[in-house]
Amino acid sequence: MSTQEILLRDDPNRFVTFPLQRLDSWLMYKKAVASFWTAEEVDLSKDVRDWERLTLDERHCLSHVLAFFAASNGIVIENSVERFAREVKVTEARCFYGFQIDIENIHSEMYSLLIETLIRAHQENNKLFNAIEILSCVKKKAEWALNWIQNPPFAKRLVAFAAV
């Protein structure tokens, strides 16, 4: 782990939030908190009607997009929990990443609810939930993401994380 990276430097005196030392990170955390929503707030009843009006090609395309988002969100959550939350030492940034994990969990739940609500055929539904193993386009994107967020230096992983 590089001690050059500001976010990764050990600071044993940073077990409390105040006084703030990184206002930029704190403001990002507060923006994340202000954008909070839950899956229960989303009414999918009209989406079902709209889905049924789509052509088969449109449904196929959107199904794959949902499958990719559902899978990639799992990768983002894994990266956030296993890597960023453990490595980042700046309290304000840790607050942001902690909340980001919550937001990603909500997104993951929402993508899963969309798949479950819109795609009612069990076999198709199952294929989409297992897209990383079954759909080659999703598998390739997931492999790319995992490659870039597992081993490179922190700065490169951060850019890859943003891209995913």
Catalytic residue selected from 29, 111, 135, 138: 111
Nearest to 85 by CA among 57, 133, 77: 77
Nearest to 141 by CA among 73, 79, 92: 73
Give the gyration radius of the chain's Cα atoms: 19
* Tokens standing for residue 107: 């997104």
- 111 in active site: yes
For the residues of 5-48, what is the DSSP string, one character each? SGGGS--TT-SS--S-S-HHHHHHHHHHHHT---GGG---HHHH
Q: Which residues are catalytic?
A: 111
